[in-house]
């Protein structure tokens, strides 16, 4: 039996239960498709801070009820990014040094100049670093866990802290 996705009603935005967007399986008892949504928050303590969020994302995936599918992570801020890399102290230091070198904070950016911008935060470097790193990831879910390589971790990059940060996490699959 084939299900026409256009005929399935969309869940309300506030409904984040695993069955909110469940599509019927086939008559033979195939697994149902689930859509699970959460917004998670972090409080950062430094202007440039890297946080390993792998365990927290895996916990959300496990609670979603999705065994196999996709997890989509989206920072809800232009000055906070999410990326994959190895979680190792020396490398984390190098990542911060690379970002400082690539986008220096002390350069005369127009975004920081009151003649061109109404932004009072003086955070052009944070926006540009976020643009380079990116604000979203789409990863596979296998056996109710995020599929990652041996040394891969999911890293949240605070680029303009300290602040409160939010990330939308959407898990979909069977």
> Domain residues for 50?
35-173
Phi, psi of 152, rounded to the nearest 5 degrees? -85, 135
Q: What is the pTM of this model?
A: 0.83
Overall domain count for the chain: 1
Cα–Cα distance, 93 to 118 (Å, whole number): 32
Q: Tell me the pLDDT tens digit for each residue of 85-144.
A: 999 999 999 999 999 999 999 999 999 999 999 999 999 999 999 999 999 999 999 999
User: What CATH number is given to the structural domain containing 64?
Assistant: 2.60.120.460
For residue 21, being part of any structural domain is answered with no
For residue 17, being part of any structural domain is answered with no
For residue 5, being part of any structural domain is answered with no
Q: Tell me the pLDDT tens digit for each residue of 59-84.
A: 999 999 999 999 999 999 999 999 99
For residue 106, being part of any structural domain is answered with yes
């Amino acid at each position: 039996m084939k299900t026409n996705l256009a005929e399935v009603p969309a869940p309300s935005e506030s409904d984040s239960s695993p069955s909110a967007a469940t599509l019927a399986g086939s008559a033979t008892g195939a697994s149902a498709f689930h859509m699970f949504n959460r917004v998670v928050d972090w409080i950062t303590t430094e202007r440039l801070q890297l946080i390993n969020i792998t365990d927290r994302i895996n916990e959300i995936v496990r609670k979603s009820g999705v065994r196999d599918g996709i997890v989509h992570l989206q920072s809800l801020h232009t000055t906070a990014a999410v990326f994959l890399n190895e979680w190792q102290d020396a490398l984390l230091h190098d990542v911060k040094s690379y970002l400082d070198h690539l986008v220096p904070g002390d350069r005369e950016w127009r975004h920081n100049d009151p003649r061109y911008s109404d932004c009072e935060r003086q955070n052009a470097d944070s926006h540009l670093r976020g643009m380079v790193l990116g604000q979203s990831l789409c990863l596979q879910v296998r056996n109710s866990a995020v599929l990652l390589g041996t040394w891969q971790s999911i890293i949240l990059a605070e680029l303009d802290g300290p602040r409160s940060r939010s990330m939308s996490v959407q898990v979909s699959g069977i």
